Chain A
Amino acid sequence: MMRRKLFTLTLLAIVFTFYWVDYGITQEVVPEKQKQETQVEKKTEKIIPSSKNIKEKTGIYVFLGWMWLSIFVLIYILRQKIKEVDRLFLLKFFSSEKK
């Protein structure tokens, strides 16, 4: 129980650190990307996709963090459900329904 809690907390900490650290990194990357975009655009008129503004960029990172958090939580809950349902199957809980 304690191990699980510790595991989940560490995971949350990693996710949030990733978010905050990455926010710092993207601040430098954003002007670079834009400069690269205009250079490349002039040469080959290639469209390199990127977020238009900081609000959208932040929103995407928040979404990614939320998504991964949800995935880990849901997998944890599903594992509990799997254990429960496997146990019930072994106890032949549903076998009466077959008749």
Chain B
Amino acid sequence: MKLKHSLFTRRQFLNGLLGGWLTALVGSFLYPIIRFVFPPYKEPDKVVLPFSDFKDMASNSVRIFSWGSKPGLLKRNDDGSFQVFVGVCTHLDCNVTYLPEQRKFFCACHDGWYDENGINIGGPPPSPLRRLIVVLEEENLVIKKEGVE
């Protein structure tokens, strides 16, 4: 199919090619800049803690450990077993604390409440505290993300 008239003039073609290719070149410069400015966030796959530090924990108490750059909350239940949460409020990222007398986790920023299993029960938090898996391997407590071997 041959057109009777050109869709655009030679000047428009040249201008378009120049502008378009220049934009593509500048765009290719942007990719490394974006990768540089947003470094990959590395969350640990697992954290290993010596069991000896925690075997004397009282029940209904919580100890803090480092989960990457977030606080991890290791809670000893009444039956002696352990539960681990990522101690970051699901509302706006403040660190939560455990109130043993009330058996609740509390976020002071906006009055958020979680029960002793991390389920959100009051205030703005939209979802429960994130859980991690804890297993006892030899002399160590190994804390893992859910789904990691």
Which residues does A use to contact B, with CB under 8 Å? 63, 66-67, 70-71, 73-74, 77-78, 80-81, 84
Contact assessment for B21 and A74 in the assembled complex, using a CB-CB cutoff below 8 Å: yes
Contact assessment for A67 and B14 in the assembled complex, using a CB-CB cutoff below 8 Å: no
Residues in A neighbouring B32, C-beta threshold 8 A: 63
Main secondary structure of the interface of A (DSSP, over half): helix
**Across the two chains, which residue of chain A brings its CB closest to B31?**
A63
Contact assessment for A70 and B24 in the assembled complex, using a CB-CB cutoff below 8 Å: yes
19 of the cross-chain contacts (CB-CB < 8 Å) are A63-B28, A63-B32, A66-B28, A67-B25, A70-B21, A70-B24, A70-B25, A71-B25, A73-B21, A74-B18, A74-B21, A74-B22, A74-B25, A77-B14, A77-B21, A78-B18, A81-B14, A81-B15, A84-B14
Report which of A70, A73, A84 forms a contact with B11, defined as CB distance below 8 A: A84
Residues in B neighbouring A63, C-beta threshold 8 A: 28, 32
**Across the two chains, which residue of chain A brings its CB closest to B11?**
A84
Closest 10 CB pairs of A and B: A70-B25, A77-B18, A77-B17, A74-B21, A80-B14, A73-B21, A70-B21, A77-B14, A74-B22, A81-B14
**Nearest-Cβ distance from residue B39 to partner chain A, whole angstroms:** 13
**Across the two chains, which residue of chain A brings its CB closest to B17?**
A77
Cα distance A70–B20 in the bound complex, in angstroms: 11
**Nearest-Cβ distance from residue B24 to partner chain A, whole angstroms:** 7
